[in-house]
Amino acid sequence: MINNPVNTLLKNSVWIALLSTLTACQVFQDTPSASAVLQSKSGSNLNGSVNFSQSGMKVLVTGTFSGLKPNAEHGIHIHEKGDCSSLDAMSAGGHFNPANSKHGNVQSASHHAGDMPNIMSDANGNANYKATLSNFSLVGDQAIIGRAVVVHRDPDDYQSQPAGNSGPRIGCGLIR
């Protein structure tokens, strides 16, 4: 069989395409992700879900919510325990805070690992949420899988200690 440069180029192109496809599949397969379905708590009508997707050192957090107070901000945090069994979600413990930092805004130097920007609801009490955070992870020492995400009735003021004066816990979901 004669080695034709066109055939060789074609074979090499096929191999490169195949390897690229396999590499891309491996990248997507290794991208950590998790989600939480919220249970209403403290007599609320909250429904929602939160998704987490890690890329490098950052975690994209997205969520959809209904049953919130209309045109209002609501605190949202990662809590230390993956336990939403109590009616008021107090079973989820305090904010996830492995470094024993003071509570604060994620844009400040000092804040809990579980601190997140507030949710803003629309006139119908619905909200779409999106934040890219680097204060926690889905793997390693700062991992949040197995912990709880909690939504509060009131906005986080980012100053009051230890938890931002966000009021009752109106939703709780186990991060899996």
**Residues 130/116, Cβ–Cβ less than 8 Å:** no
CA dihedral over 34, 121, 117, 55, signed as positive or negative: positive
Give the span between the Cα atoms of 34 and 25, in whole angstroms: 18
Give the span between the Cα atoms of 173 and 176, in whole angstroms: 9
0.85 exceeded by pTM = no
Give the per-residue pLDDT at 135: 76
Cα 44 from chain centre:
22
Other Cβ atoms closer than 10 A to 117: 18
Q: Which residues contact 100 (CB under 8 A, 6 or more apart)?
A: none
Return the closest-CA partner of residue 114 out of 89, 80, 88: 80
Give the span between the Cα atoms of 158 and 77, in whole angstroms: 11
For 114, the token pair is: 């579980």
Per-residue pLDDT of the chain (176 residues; tens, 9 = 90+): 555 654 554 555 545 555 555 554 444 456 788 899 999 999 999 999 999 999 888 889 999 999 999 999 999 998 999 999 999 999 999 888 888 887 777 777 777 777 889 999 999 999 999 998 887 888 888 889 999 999 999 998 888 778 778 899 999 999 99
Give the span between the Cα atoms of 118 and 17, in whole angstroms: 44
Other Cβ atoms closer than 10 A to 167: 15
Give the span between the Cα atoms of 120 and 72, in whole angstroms: 6
